[in-house]
Amino acid sequence: MNASRLAVRCGLVATAVLAWLQPAHLGDAVERLSFKPGFNLFSPAQDVQVGKENAAQVDKQLPILRDPQLNRYVNDLGRRLASFAPNNRSEYVWQFKVVNSRDINAFALPGGYIYVNRATIEAAANEAQLAGVMAHESGHVVMRHGTHQASQAMLARAPLAIVSGILGQSSSAVSQIAQLGGGLGLNLLLLRNSRAMESQADEVGTYILYQAGYDPHAMAQFFETVEKKYPSQAPQFLSDHPNPGNRIKAVDAEIPELGPTKNWKTDSPEFQSIKQRVLAMPPAPQPRPQSQPGRQ
């Protein structure tokens, strides 16, 4: 399988949603913002299983940076963000890795396996923008977009009784999916995010930023910056996360729903230190021709 195709998937986690003095109206906001995952034939535990099996392949096929300081930083940040995610599940893994790639991108697999390309850290102006990308990916995970799409595709191929029966067996989730055949296999998980899913991931990402104390405008701002400033470095990013249509305006409309304006955090010395560390690393390898993001 072409690992680069896996980058099409977006996906997140954490355990303790801090019982953190959340004013009641924030709970109402969740209701109004309809943070509800769509139709899904998989259980959350199966999301993790599917994500784990795919992550093992990604780790073999993409150049993962093994820098302990960098990994500690992205995992600390990612897990802190995930702790504020709506619809979070204790099963989710919340594991964050950095891919040594010169393309701006990020993707997530079901169950909370999130990959951020090095170029994303380099292009982010501040911690809030990087947090925005990671919060958006977390949105794909908690809304279970990967297995939602897989469920829809499976149902289009086979009657519900058959699909449910296969998923109920104890063999590997990937082989279960492959049993549905027709050459679909893992491609079921590699469908591009729809604009509706992007909107929902934006809403969740913005919500997470707000709850975590970051400037909630940062996610949409970063996406817009990428679109305008780095179009040649991010074609796949923009394809994986298509602009659902006036992203900034939609986010601006959501923010007042979340609660009062706060003294939002935008940056940290830790982020700037990590960004410098990444910028000082040897250049990322040229992508191999076969793993070029020439994906449709």
Contacts of 17 (CB under 8 A, 6+ apart): 83, 84, 85, 88
Spatial separation of the C-alpha atoms in residues 56 and 153, rounded to whole Å = 23
Spatial separation of the C-alpha atoms in residues 50 and 168, rounded to whole Å = 14
- Angle of CA points 257, 246, 125, to nearest 5°: 85
User: One-letter amino acid identity for 181?
Assistant: G
Please give the residue whose beta carbon sits closest to Zn ion in the complex.
Answer: 241
Nearer to Zn ion, 142 or 180 (CB): 142
Q: Does 201 bind Zn ion (CB under 5 A)?
A: yes
Contacts of Zn ion in 6-25 (CB under 5 A) = 10
Q: Does 241 bind Zn ion (CB under 5 A)?
A: yes
Residue 117's SS3 state is strand
Q: How far is the CB of 138 from Zn ion (least distance, A)?
A: 10
Asked if 12 and 142 touch (Cβ cutoff 8 Å), the reply is: yes
Nearer to Zn ion, 118 or 140 (CB): 140
Q: How far is the CB of 108 from Zn ion (least distance, A)?
A: 8
Asked if 117 and 96 touch (Cβ cutoff 8 Å), the reply is: no
Nearer to Zn ion, 8 or 201 (CB): 201
Nearer to Zn ion, 135 or 180 (CB): 135
Residue 76's SS3 state is helix
Q: Does 114 bind Zn ion (CB under 5 A)?
A: no
Residue 231 token pair: 């179009």
Give the x-and-dash track for 155-194 against Zn ion (CB under 5 A): --------------------------------------x-
Spatial separation of the C-alpha atoms in residues 68 and 203, rounded to whole Å = 32
Spatial separation of the C-alpha atoms in residues 247 and 223, rounded to whole Å = 8
Q: How far is the CB of 73 from Zn ion (least distance, A)?
A: 22
Q: How many residues bind Zn ion (CB under 5 A)?
A: 4
Q: How far is the CB of 217 from Zn ion (least distance, A)?
A: 17
Task: Please tell me what DSSP assigns to residue 106.
Answer: E
Nearer to Zn ion, 237 or 271 (CB): 237
Q: How far is the CB of 193 from Zn ion (least distance, A)?
A: 5
Nearer to Zn ion, 118 or 241 (CB): 241
Contacts of Zn ion in 272-291 (CB under 5 A) = none
The contact set with Zn ion (CB under 5 A) reads: 10, 193, 201, 241
